[in-house]
Structure 1
Amino acid sequence: MTSLQVLADSTNQHLENLSSFYAQHILPYVKGRSSKTYIAAAIAALFSYRVYKMVHVPKNLRHIPAVPFWPYMTSVLSGEGIDIRARKVILPVLAKSPNGLYLRPNQRGWSVGVAAPSAMKTLFLRIGDYPKDQKLLRNQHSLAFKFIGSQNIVALNGPVWKKHRMIANPAFHRSMPVKLFGRLSEKMMLQFEKEGDGLENVDVPNFLQRFTLDIIGLAAFGYDFEALEKPGNEKVNAYEDILTGVRNPLHFFFPILDRRFLWAMPKRRELHTKLGDMNNVFNNIIENKRQTLATLKGSIEDAEKDLLTLMLEANEESNDADHRLSNSELRSDLVVFFVAGHDTTSNALSFALYYLAVNPHIQEKARKEVIDILGDGNDVVHPTSTQCTEMKYLYMIIKETLRMSPPAQNSSPREGAEDIELAGSLIPKGTVLNADIFVMQHNPAIWKNPETFYPERFAPGAESESKAGTGLAWVPFGNGPRQCIGMNFSLAEQKVLLSMLLRKFTWELPENSINKDGLVLNGGISIISPRDLHLKFTPRF
């Protein structure tokens, strides 16, 4: 067979794959949103060109093993969970990688997935060599850009990022509202019995989404979503609709839809309108709080102040006007904290409750520790910060939960600042890199029996500590100078709620649960969440 025939056969195969791909995933989407077939045809034509360009791995990256394009994209757009995609598509490629690097599709072609401890350490610690990738934030028409903005602490680099961090650091060090965590935990437990089938069939993710939304609204802005008391209210629905729209995988991979075809998508246009209304609310809150800042000083203890108040105080205390944040920058930072602190913590808690439900011996061991610290009885006890630090075994459970089910599948993307070597592979300048957290933490070449829930692997001197010299094998919050600034906030929130639940209830999976034979994950490309997770709670008194 001649080289020309091989090329022709390869091209025909790509075209067949492209045709099948659009028939199954793209055309049903666009046809469902417009009765005009010429719109669907125009969008499909643009998709065809874009995807055909995306399929081919660039020559300067072909030394890194790549996942097969069509199975990967089909998995993403069909709604498969990352656990299935990792097992079927990613881990077989990683098994052939000498250094834990592999290629996978992204918005602009291909990116490097980093899934080995030593390479992970380099990526997180050498922030000058691997700054945050900002190209995606230049798409000013996207829902994500309009929601989060470009001037935020997660996306920025260099001196501008340091300015944001200098204002945010004192706020997070001073804020640890465990009293707020306790009050809302108590309120949520009371709601368990009032809604639906009561304790017999608690929709865990639903309650925890509402719980963490109320917490982050009050803790970040001093804004009450009233999600626990008034589920499905207008404020909650608007926020959840916007967040779902931001994470839509089709719009993530094809941002041209927001840029050029918004006129043909009325539901998407409605999301942009809702976002404009929510941004106005946040901007008004910031301006009102700025104007009343003087009256707030001394009226509330620092630990219970919302982050906006603490950041405004830090802003005012800065002697250099050039190092202060504008209202727009404050809003962008707080929205980032808001999104990161809401969904990730609620899903981490859902996963922890699942693992405790299916491992009753671990649940009972954790309960014994909590009772030893808080005491036992039918009264309601809100743990203090000091008591939370004493919960060593509960912390091991949280860490193992975050290993098995890290809510963030990946880090935010980095970019090679220059041609550089990472773990022995050349990374050309401008290449996008992602820390592939979920895949690394499920790799049997890195963790023993990675699909087994075993908190003791985080005990002193156990498996986790033995990996310290190999790099970073556990990174649900990232690491290095750009580690998640809200890590301690989230951990304290989890300890307060879990300890209060352990003291008041036992819980288990209902017999008819779809998760009876293993945790079922929703699809998506960023945050992972459990599917249809209901639990049966039994009061201890």
Structure 2
Amino acid sequence: MISNDANKQLQRLASFYTTYVLPYVKRRSPQTFIAAAIAAFFSYQVYNFVQVPRKLRHIPAVPFWAYMKSALSEEGIDLRTRNIILPVLENSPNGMYLRPNRFGWCVGVAGPSAMKTLLLRKDFEKHRGIALQPEALFSKFLGTQNIVTLNGSVWKKHRMIANPAFHRSMPVKLFGRLCEKMMTQFEKEGDGIDSVDIPMFLQRFTLDVIGLAAFGYDFEALGDPKNAKVDTYNTIMDGLRNPIYFFFPILEKRFLWALPKRRAVHNRMEDMNQIFYSIIENKRQTLENMKGLAEDAEKDLLTLMLEANADSKEAGDRLSDSELRDDLAIFFLAGHDTTSNALSFALYHLAANPQIQEKARKEVIDILGDGDDVVYPTASQCSDMKYVYMVMKETLRLEPPAQNTTLRENKEDFELAGTFIPKGTSVSADIYVMHHNPSVWKDPEVFIPERFAPDGESESKAGSGLSWVPFGNGARQCIGMNFSLAEQKVLLSMMLRKFTWTLADNSINKDGIVLGGGTGIISPKDLHLKLTKRF
């Protein structure tokens, strides 16, 4: 006999498929019976997915159906955090809770003490789920041998090759040249500077930056945003953001044959791989001719990695072409959308807080001088921009580049901040949730750059764990952090020197930033700014 609780779960399951799954697969399947078969298979998968594992029931869990409805809709992480997650965290003494993930239920860590342990200790290794799902678009793009998901000695080999490249490369001149190109492009498209589509321009800017800085490869996104190279890359990025495939990778494993539009996106990966491998081969062939012709700081990352690879004494310490390709795919994902979104949010907060914008502008003018000439900030001048850096750090607190880190897994039973975590549990650093947790930050929804001033709120938290982790921390901290921060400082300072700006008329963001839906990377929705030239 089925219990009342089981009946309720089945009713919710039926409703869930009627509302979300069946319409979704019908739109993508040419025949209704195929869609029905997929939905029936889904019902079995999700019914097992709904139940919290017995070994984790001592940890507060979000309501499954409410969470999944939010995650699969257009709702942003801000609404999901405020309405679903934070009420659960009120019953968690250490900022830990359970939420659904593509591999079942995972422990979300949103407390400073637990965060410090998770990120700094070696008890938790990166989850290797990506290697177990080679059919997924996510796995095909990132590969299975990349610097983010590997562990142990193999990860150290990748880090040893990549570290020198990121420490030697800081192409601020490139950042400045492309920023100037973008600013001149503002007036040539759409409504000109009266209504600038900020995320669109910044995605093009950062794509050209990462293409040239990582590969020495010009996507020409600023000059020709609809060219084939950009279209291939953007098609794949749009595919990666789709939440239905994130939570249900079984679709790509078992039913890709019935989903022609998704299959077409997978086919574009072949074009992307041709780009990756041809760049590596061409770069290797021209490397000899480049020796002594460029400063390390302005060399692209691939050149520096190939040099480090060649300098490795043992063959086992070198990266193969496929390993180089996987690392470069990671650098693209981490260095494109994340930085463009961070900049979009920073420009929004400066528009919404004109007194902060003016204070940041004054600092920039004191450092770079004033006038209608074009000035590219140097690395040294970027280091002097203390208040601009506070603006960036507060932006990264409110809208960190990623909602959470890639999953980790404990190899043995472990106690994390007083909570028992059984062996083999998926654990994630929930960065966005912690940054908005009122038990961690005062008035967490208010934009206050002075939190990061000397003796400010951030410094006062130093002894309680890690409360600000937009790039992670510890040995697995984002390797491109300094690269991204320098890119942000160059663009913000050049924008502040040339323009003032406000939100565009009739902006949907007048009463607060509106976030796009989906999982993973946080992005603004329909953000247009009205720019005014200062000269």
TM-score with structure 2 length normalisation? 0.99
Q: Write the distance in 2 (CA, Å) between the matches of 1:516 and 1:435.
A: 31
Q: How far apart, CA to CA, are the structure 2 residues paired with 1:54 and 1:396? A: 42
- Give the Å deviation of 1:430: 0.7
User: Shift of the alpha carbon at 1:309?
Assistant: 0.2
Match of 2:197 in 1: 203
Which residue of 90, 102, 121 maps to 1:107? 102
User: For residues 272-308 of structure 1, what are the alpha-carbon distances to aligned partners after superposition, in whole Å with 9 as ceiling and x for unaligned?
Assistant: 1111111011101101211221111111111011000
Cα distance, 1:511 vs. partner?
Answer: 2.8
DSSP 3-state at the match of 1:209: helix
Distance 1:318 1:468 in 2: 39
Moved more, 226-235 or 209-218: 226-235
| 4+ residue segments displaced more than 3 Å | none
Amino acid at match of 2:11: E
Equivalent residue for 2:82? 87
Give the 3-state SS of the residue equivalent to 1:287 in structure 2: helix
Q: What is the rounded CA distance, in whole Å, between the counterparts of 1:361 and 1:232 in structure 2?
A: 37
The Cα shift of 1:182 comes to 0.2
> 1:37: how far off?
1.2
The question of 1:422 aligning with 2:416 is answered: yes
Match of 2:115 among 120, 136, 152: 120
1:325 to 312, 319, 325: 319
Does structure 1 retain, via aligned residues, the 8 Å contact 2:232–2:271?
A: no
Residue range with higher mean Cα deviation, 204-213 or 224-233: 224-233
Q: Give 1:120 deviation, angstroms.
A: 0.3
Q: Distance in 2 between matches of 1:471 and 1:277?
A: 45
Aligned to 1:142: 136
User: Which residue is equivalent to 2:186?
Assistant: 192
Secondary structure class of the residue paired with 2:72: helix
Q: CA deviation at 1:13?
A: 0.4
Q: Which residue number corresponds to residue 251 of structure 2?
A: 257
Give ranges in structure 2 of 5+ residues lacking alignment: none
The reply on whether 1:503 has 2:497 as its aligned counterpart is yes
Matching residue's letter, 2:55: N
How far off is 1:99 after superposition?
Answer: 1.0
Match of 1:377 in 2: 371
Aligned with 1:303 (options 293, 297, 308)? 297
Contact 2:516 2:524 in 1 (8 A): yes
2:45 corresponding residue in structure 1: 50
Give the superposition deviation at 1:232.
1.8
**Partner of 1:409 in structure 2?**
403
Cα offset for 1:257? 1.1
Q: Residue by residue, what CA displacement relative to the aligned partner does 1:490-511 show, whole Å, maximum 9, x if unpaired?
A: 0000000000000000000123
- Residue number in structure 2 paired with 1:24: 19
Report 1:424-463 matches (<5 A).
424-463=418-457
Listed one character per residue, the Cα deviations across residues 180-203 of structure 1 (whole Å, up to 9, x for unaligned) are 000000000000011010000000
Amino acid at match of 1:443: N
The alpha-carbon deviation at position 247 of structure 1 amounts to 2.3
User: 1:482 maps to which residue?
Assistant: 476
Distance 1:289 1:493 in 2: 24
Instruction: Confirm or deny that 1:524 pairs with 2:489.
Output: no
Give secondary structure in 1 for the equivalent of 2:3.
Answer: helix
Q: Shift of the alpha carbon at 1:320? A: 1.0
Is the 1:214–1:224 Cα contact (8 Å) retained in structure 2? Answer: yes
SS in 2 for 1:78: coil
1:236 aligns with 2:243: no
Q: Which residue in the other structure is 2:93 paired with? A: 98
Measure, in 2, the Cα distance between the counterparts of 1:309 and 1:446: 42
Deviation (angstroms), 1:237: 1.4
Paired with 1:138 and 1:35, the residues of 2 have a C-alpha distance of: 29
The partner residue of 1:64 within 55, 59, 66 is 59
Quick check: 2:130–2:144 contact (8 Å CA) kept in 1? Answer: no
**1:130 paired residue number:** 124
Q: Which residue of 1 aligns with 2:36?
A: 41
The answer on 1:467 being equivalent to 2:449 is no
Maintained 8 Å contact 2:471/2:478:
yes
CA deviations 1:195-254 (Å, max 9, x no partner) are 010000000000000000000000111111100000122111111110111221111111
Identity %: 70
**Deviation (angstroms), 1:108:** 2.2
The match for 1:170 is 164
* CA distance in 2 between partners of 1:107 and 1:389 (Å): 41
CA positional deviation for 1:267: 1.1
Runs of 5+ consecutive residues of structure 1 not aligned to the other structure: none
Tell me if structure 2 keeps the 8 A contact 1:53–1:109: no
1:260 CA displacement? 1.5
Equivalent AA in structure 2 for residue 166 of structure 1: M
Distance 1:474 1:362 in 2: 21
Matched position secondary structure for 2:482: helix
Tell which deviates more after alignment, 142-151 or 170-179: 142-151
SS in 2 for 1:32: helix
235-244 vs 495-504, which moves further = 235-244
SS at structure 1 position matched to 2:126: coil
Matches of 2:355 and 2:57, distance apart in 1? 48
Report the Cα offset of residue 519 of structure 1. 0.5
Amino acid at match of 2:415: E
CA distance in 1, matches of 2:141, 2:399: 26
Deviation at 1:15, TM superposition (A): 0.8
C-alpha distance in 1 between matches for 2:321 and 2:128 = 21
What is the DSSP-based 3-state SS (H/G/I as helix, E as strand, rest coil) of the residue aligned with 1:131? strand
Matched residue SS, 1:434: strand
After TM superposition, list the pairs within 5 Å mapping 1:298-377 onto structure 2. 298-377=292-371
Deviation of the 1:271 alpha carbon: 0.8
What amino acid sits opposite 1:130 in the alignment? F
TM-score normalised to structure 1 length: 0.98
